[in-house]
Structure 1
Amino acid sequence: MTTTVENNASANSGRTPVDGPALWPAQAQAPQVVGRQLVIERGEGSYVVTRDGQRLFDGTAGLWHANIGHSRPELAQAAYDQMMQLETYHTFARFTNDKAEALSEKLAEVSPILDPKIILNSGGSDAIDVACKLARRHWQREGRPTKQVILSREFAYHGLHAYGTSIAGLEFNREGYGTESLVPETARISFNDPEQVRRTVEEIGPENIAAIVTEPVQGTGGVNPPTEGYLETIQELCRDNDILLILDEVITGFGRVGTMFASERYGLQPDLVTFAKGVTSGYAPLGGIFVSPRIWEPFYEDSPDTPIFRHGSTYAGHATAAAVAIKHLEILQDENLVERVREFEPAFDAALEDLAARNDDVVEVRYAGLLGGVTLRESVAVDKVCDRMIDKGFISRPLRGNTLQVSPPFIVTEQELNAFLAAMDEAIGEEAAS
């Protein structure tokens, strides 16, 4: 009998897999990172500490989420207290739990949508899947079955569940699954040209479009704030053509751009808003969507024919995650952290502009709130710059377009920001000269 090992060896055509830990690395070519991974064991405010004791300034707030900093004891206590009372209970049919209800009421108070209903789940990718499903379900219920296409922007990132993969504007996240779009009926629009967006809507036909999904400020796509008139044009097209506007505020929500939601900063009135990361600052996996009355009211009518939105998951409204989120929202308010971002923004902008002015290898800097991107000349390898920065004690990440991510926790000091950007300046120069 042929053994599994022999079968694997045959399948690999004599190639030997790299050895490494059992954990599959995310978003990476495994041989390029196995043996080089940094194992983070502790966090301290704006810093994390590796297994071998290296202290690193977290210039990206993890994956854009560690807004209030790492290892806050108040949140650990909130989780402990809740688990000692009730770890969780599901929210299916007649059942719910007190913390899911309490969190939803608090979220409704700060919602960018007036009088919303809130669907809770486990994160941003979950939220995008729910929002896209609900958009199509809305038009089916309305008796307009041709409205199925979901439009999203070039360079967009909306997580990596089925819908997030399908509407990604980063082509490498959509490739390799056997079809052009994992979920059919999706298409991309220009990331910055409102007139091209108009043409795409006309070509596909508004009668076929269910929704347009957009990040107010693109994150993974290179930190792209909206060009003048862009978001306003999208909102106008949605209103004039009966297309739902879905805002992905997984990164921008809960203060990252200096307002509670970017919807407020840019004067938008969306139909659905997705959120995650900043709702707990990463202390518990939690996300969800705000649903406008236009969408939720038909599902609440007191009638035997009222439709059901067939969605739910075991951990939707997880009681411990909700308790952590409630405490986190209290910290945001009590410490005026959203206002702090707004007040810190001019210094943040000036520091990035100063970096661009003094380093000829910086092509452009872009920013909004505490969300920044530093684009380098193509000849300077951005991933190598990130490696050099780690050696210096600072974390950045490579983004699309040879761009470095700058998104520190809200508690960052001006001194820490300047040290971070000085290390970036130095690392860019070293890599350019190598």
Structure 2
Amino acid sequence: MSNTDLHPPTTATAPLVDGPALWPAQAHTPSVLGRQLVIERGEGSYIHTTDGRRLFDGTAGLWHANVGHSHPELAQAAYSQMQRLETYHTFARFTNDQAQALGERLASISPIERSKVILNSGGSDAIDVACKLARRHWQREGRPSKQLILSREFAYHGLHAYGTSIAGLEFNREGYGTESLVPETARVPVHDADALERIIHEIGADTIAAIVTEPVQGTGGVNPPAPGYLDKLQRLARENDILIILDEVITGFGRTGTMFAAERYQVDPDIVTFAKGVTSGYAPLGGILISPRLWEPFYRDSPDTPVFRHGSTYGGHATSAAVALAHLDLLEREQLIPRVRELETVLDQQLSALAERNSAVQDVRVAGLLGGVTLNENLSAERVADEIIELGFISRPLRGNTLQISPPFIISNDELIAFVNAIDEAITTEMTR
């Protein structure tokens, strides 16, 4: 064996590809530098790039631009709030009126009765606090062995320490020196409830604090739950005293045709995480909704009542909260969630027809205004997504050689049909190369 075999060349010997100072997120950097689309403005369902392109935003940014871009009402809400108070923290005796108002509003629409709310800056923050609260609950209950967090194969729960640790996408956990940044985690198969039951038995329910699941997996390939899966997951959790953390960062606030997917799939969670759709991305905001089982012990009027040591500078940010309140008004007034249910029918019909006529389409999946188009392995979803951009539309390659469909709720029927037709054309173009 040569020295070269023992010590293979590293990227340090490869030519350096320099570029802008801003490090691209989730990217093989040399593959995107020089090809980046620089977005300078948006209007409704469209975005504009600095090189003059007008593109239909078929992914609503990263699943969040539900009411479209540059809505003047939401811009005005932020402007008006900043003129009064940009923000003030919510630690101890202090709070601010907008954070309080948003807390009440969220509790009133929560799928959890009598829920309390913790606010923070986004979905990854929400997952961190949800997992911490689950473990804190069992410690307070005097059951210290219940520490492990279960999650599903192909799951994506952000990229903070806990989100990285419970990721069901292996590549998001690799390269940090251990199998999981937080060691007390384990994965279960994506759709197999019998395997879930077996794993709970093997690991031991007395060691498991919670199971985290997206009702519909997003980044994992747009995977709606298999029939009966969430019902059995819920039954197993209750029988084994395991908390249910429902990750609604993508699905919350209407994406599946109900305010929360918990309603659509009849899940009764202990904690719901949310972000993205609470403001349609107009301000960074996320948080969790918490069941009485978890919050009541921290609210008892006693010197022995414990403290949940969690908080962040921008948790309850007044301007973000004001934008969220205006956004929730907009969703209701414009009846955008019922509109999602109408659009689901159109999307389902269009993708079913696409799968029938295009042999390169292996599978299609729809849940509300979430769609996934899985391509045969001889095609690259990444290259097809690039071709879709050339046709004036944005999709995104996901795990499993899948194309993402998650446009704004304001999309017209004709625009949705045109988007699916562009996907069809791009696939056909790529097949002929």
TM-score, normalised with respect to structure 2? 0.97
Alignment match, 1:97: 96
Q: Percent identity?
A: 72
Distance of aligned partners of 1:27 and 1:12 in 2 relative to their CA distance in 1, 3 Å threshold? closer
Matched letter for residue 370 of structure 1: L
Residue in structure 1 matched with residue 76 of structure 2 by the alignment: 77
- Determine the structure 2 residue equivalent to 1:203: 202
Deviation at 1:342, TM superposition (A): 1.2
CA distance in structure 1 between the partners assigned to 2:227 and 2:84 by the alignment = 50
Q: 2: distance between equivalents of 1:377 and 1:343?
A: 29
Q: Does 1:64 align with 2:53?
A: no
Residue 340, structure 1, aligned to residue 339, structure 2: yes
RMSD: 1.0
Structure 1 gaps of 5+ residues are 1-10
Question: Unaligned 5+ residue runs, structure 2?
Answer: 1-9
- The verdict on how the C-alpha distance between 1:44 and 1:194 changes in structure 2, with shifts beyond 3 A counting, is same
The CA deviation string for residues 326-376 of structure 1, in whole angstroms up to 9 with x for no partner, is: 000000000000111112211111011111111100000001000000000
Deviating 4+ runs (over 3 angstroms): 11-16
> How far did residue 12 of structure 1 move?
6.5
Q: Indicate yes or no: 2:22 matched with 1:23.
A: yes
Aligned pairs, number:
425
Q: Does 1:284 align with 2:291?
A: no
Distance across 1 between alignment mates of 2:15 and 2:321: 45
Name the CA distance, whole Å, in 1 between partners of 2:364 and 2:114: 38
- Structure 2 Cα separation of the partners of residues 269 and 398 of structure 1: 32
Summarize the alignment of residues 153-302 of structure 1 with structure 2, pairs less than 5 Å apart.
Answer: 153-302=152-301
Counterparts of 1:315 and 1:260, CA distance in 2: 25
SS state of the match for residue 333, structure 1? Answer: helix
Letter of the aligned partner of 2:99 in structure 1? A
Partner of 2:118: 119
- Counterpart amino acid of residue 16 in structure 2: P
In structure 2, distance between residues paired with 1:302 and 1:349: 52
- For 1:12 and 1:297, locate their aligned partners in 2 and report how far apart those are by CA, in whole Å: 53
Partner SS, residue 363 of structure 1? strand
3-state DSSP of counterpart to 2:316: coil
Distance in 1 between residues matched to 2:62 and 2:223, nearest whole Å: 17
Deviation at 1:432, TM superposition (A): 1.4
**What is the CA–CA distance in structure 1 between the aligned matches of 2:11 and 2:198, rounded to whole Å?**
47
In the alignment, residue 281 of structure 1 is paired with which amino acid? S
**What SS is found at the alignment partner of 1:394?**
coil
- Where do residues 364-379 of structure 1 align in structure 2 (5 Å cutoff)? 364-379=363-378
| Per-residue Cα deviation, 1:16-64 (whole angstroms, up to 9, x for no partner) | 3211100000000110001100000010100000011100000011100
Which deviations, in whole Å up to 9, do the C-alpha atoms of 1:102-130 show, x marking residues without a partner?
01111111101000000000000000000
1:329 is matched with which residue?
A: 328
The amino acid across from 1:274 in the alignment is: T
Q: Shift of the alpha carbon at 1:404?
A: 0.2
**Within 2, Cα distance between the matches of 1:432 and 1:323?**
48
Alpha-carbon spacing, 1:361–1:12, altered in 2? closer, same or farther (3 Å): closer
* 1:242-300 superposed Cα distances (whole Å, 9 cap, x missing partner): 10000000000000000000000011100000000000000000000000000000000
Q: Which amino acid aligns with 2:235?
A: E
The residue correspondences of 1:306-317 to structure 2 (distance < 5 A) are 306-317=305-316
Measured in 2, the distance between the counterparts of 1:13 and 1:340 equals: 52
Which residue number in structure 2 is paired with residue 319 of structure 1?
318
Query: Matched residue of 2:310: which SS?
Result: coil
Distance of 1:213 and 1:354 partners within structure 2 = 34
CA distance in 2 between counterparts of 1:289 and 1:128 reads: 8
